[in-house]
Each structure stands twice: as structure tokens, then as C-alpha cells.
Amino acid sequence: MIIETKIIEKPAFRVVGITETVHFDSTVPSSENAIAKLWARFGRRIPEIQGQLGWRSYGLMLQNPDNPPGAPFDYTASVQIAADGDIPEGMISIEVPAARYLVLTYRGQLDGISDAFMHFWGQILPDSPYEYDGGVHTGKYEFEFYDQRYTQPGDPNSEIDLYFPIRAK
């Protein structure tokens, strides 16, 4: 369930993580899909990352808005860092640019998160004075933000913030 919707201006920030091209399969539950498997691998390697800022994890998505729904996209499981340091082997550092975001706070089991994405694309965005401003054309990421409010995939009280870059129409 979506418990809050807001618009914010977020300054640039830096993350370190692992990027993979994801071929999304909507028939696989979110808790078992390719993204969940990437998070499991990345989670074991988080202690290797120096200069982390608290409990701040990001699932970055760099979409190509010209692609049809269901097309592969790049997803980065990452943690926020204070400054560039040594990047562990097999990981990358990304500077996420400052942007205006429409933020949805989702509460529920991870397997229901796709409903929040569909709500943004199907109901919120078309009826708003904004348009999507992310993807490969602008270099702005869409992302999931995980902090201490997210506990585990099956917890109906877990919360995840979904950030969608936007601009006025």
C-alpha cells in the first residue's frame, strides 16, 4: 500500500554497488527475481565498501524510455558513501545527479512492490502536471531507497521509498 506521496528536490549523492542488466520477468515474485538475487550477492559484499553513510541502500534503475515495457534495463544494488575511496573489485561508483523526484512510500511485503510502480506509471503520472525525466537521455536514475524502515521481504510493515525523476510538462 502507498502511504505517502511527495515531491522533493534531492541533491546529488554517490553510491558504490554492482550493476547488472535485468531481464524482468513479471511471473517471478519480487522476492525471488533477478533483482532479489543481485541484492543477495551484493549484501554479502557490503562490508568491503569503505566510507558508507549509515544504513542507506539504493536500487538504481537507468531506463531507456524509448524501450517497450518489459525491455531489459540496468539495475545497480548499492550503498551510499561519503566520498570516493577504494572501489572493491567488481563494483562501480556512481554519482547520482541532483533532481526533482516524485516519491512514493510503499509499505508491505516486497512481492507487492510492482503494484506501487504500476500505480505511479498508470495513475499518478498521467494525471499529474509532471512528466518522467529519467533514463539514458537525461542520466537521471529512478530508484528504490532502503533504510531502517525496511526489515525483510515478507514483513507487511516494511517500507521502501520509490523515487521517480520528474519535470513540469
Q: Would you say residue 169 has pLDDT above 80?
A: yes
Considering the chain, what is the average pLDDT of its residues?
93
d(CA 6, CA 103): 5
Task: Output the pLDDT for position 94.
Answer: 96
Report how many helices (DSSP H) and strands (DSSP E) the chain contains, helices first.
2, 9
Report the pLDDT averaged over residues 97-124.
95
The tens digit of pLDDT for each residue in 27-52 reads: 888 889 999 999 999 999 999 999 99
Q: How far is residue 104 CA from its own chain's centroid?
A: 12
Report the pLDDT averaged over residues 138-152.
95
- What's the pTM? 0.94
Task: Output the pLDDT for position 92.
Answer: 96
Report the pLDDT averaged over residues 64-87.
87
Give residues with Cβ within 8 angstroms of 34, minimum separation 6. Answer: 20, 22, 23, 24, 25, 28
- Percent of the chain at pLDDT > 90 equals 78
Task: Output the pLDDT for position 84.
Answer: 72
